[in-house]
């Protein structure tokens, strides 16, 4: 439901990356790697990316989705299919012997400045915007996506934690103003505003459902416990 908005205004906003279509050969390699280790480290993901000629971030997403699907399968059919039995032993030791993570990226103040400006403009940038930013900053697009994820997440947490801190209140007021402008300009999907909008009347999501028809509210949004 990527909101239509006005076609002219939101040309590059909120677009998804186009779907990757893996070939059979690529899938064979991925599945084999998954059976060996469903939690590959950065080096392994890089190697796989090279091997099947795709981006490391696509490998990461593939493993995430694969783990999720397997989790479902395992529960729906407890020990029916033994052919993919390998991952049943992956629990404890596998997790302990996890390979190395990607090295932590550190950003310069000017890179951060660019990030923050973009965030104020739109906290949910689409693929085009992210790629443009990545190019501008000189980092991979996947890092841009992670930065926005973390930023949004911490924005929520911060607002919950210090609702009456004066400095942050001022900052939030400024953010609120900018936010409202953007909302009026329809710069990002309406359905997400309820989740993210500064100074939402109630800190509880359930309290603001009245302004949105239930069928536009994602199920998890309705069902999730309120953290207040």
Partner DNA sequence: CCTAATCTCATCAGGACCATCCTGATGAGCGCATTAGG
Nearest partner of 175 among 194, 159, 157, judged by Cα: 159
- Judged by CB under 7 A, which stretch of 4-12, 122-130, 172-180, 206-214 contacts DNA? 122-130
Element (H, E) at 155: helix 141-161
Per CB under 7 A, the list member of 29, 49, 193, 195 interacting with DNA is: 195
Closest CA to 58 of 30, 26, 25, 20: 20
Q: Between the CA of residue 57 and those of 42, 175, 211, 221, what are the distances in Å? A: 10, 31, 37, 27
- Nearer Cβ to DNA, position 46 or 185? 46
Compare residues 210 and 215 and give the one whose CB is closer to DNA: 215
Regarding 143 and contact with DNA (CB under 7 A), the answer is yes
What distance in Å separates the CA atoms of residue 172 and residue 192, rounded to the nearest whole number?
18
Binding to DNA by residue 21, rule CB under 7 A?
yes
Residues 199-228, mask of contacts with DNA (x by CB under 7 A): -------------------xxx--x---x-
Q: Residues interacting with DNA, by CB under 7 A? A: 1-2, 16-22, 39, 41-42, 58, 60-69, 71-72, 75-76, 98, 101-107, 112, 124, 126-127, 143, 145-154, 156-157, 189, 191-192, 195-196, 218-220, 223, 227
């Amino acid at each position: 439901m990527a909101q239509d908005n006005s076609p002219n205004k939101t040309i590059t906003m909120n677009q998804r990356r186009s779907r990757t279509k893996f070939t059979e050969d690529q899938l064979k390699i991925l599945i084999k790697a998954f059976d060996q280790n469903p939690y590959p480290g950065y080096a392994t993901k890089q190697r796989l990316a090279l091997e099947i000629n795709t981006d490391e971030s696509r490998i990461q997403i593939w493993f995430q989705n694969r783990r999720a699907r397997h989790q479902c399968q395992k529960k729906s059919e407890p020990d029916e299919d033994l052919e993919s039995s390998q991952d049943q032993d992956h629990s404890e030791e596998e997790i302990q012997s996890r390979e190395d993570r990607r090295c932590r990226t550190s950003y310069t103040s000017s890179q951060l400045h660019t990030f923050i400006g973009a965030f104020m403009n739109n906290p949910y940038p689409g693929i085009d915007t992210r790629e443009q930013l990545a190019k501008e900053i000189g980092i991979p697009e996947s890092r841009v996506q992670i930065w926005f994820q973390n930023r949004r997440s911490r924005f929520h947490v911060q607002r919950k934690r210090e609702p009456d801190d004066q400095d942050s209140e001022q900052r939030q007021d400024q953010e609120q103003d900018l936010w409202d402008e953007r909302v009026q300009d329809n710069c990002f999907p309406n359905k997400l505003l309820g989740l993210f909008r500064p100074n939402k009347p109630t800190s509880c999501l359930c309290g603001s459902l009245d302004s949105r028809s239930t069928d536009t509210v994602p199920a998890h949004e309705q069902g999730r416990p309120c953290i207040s």
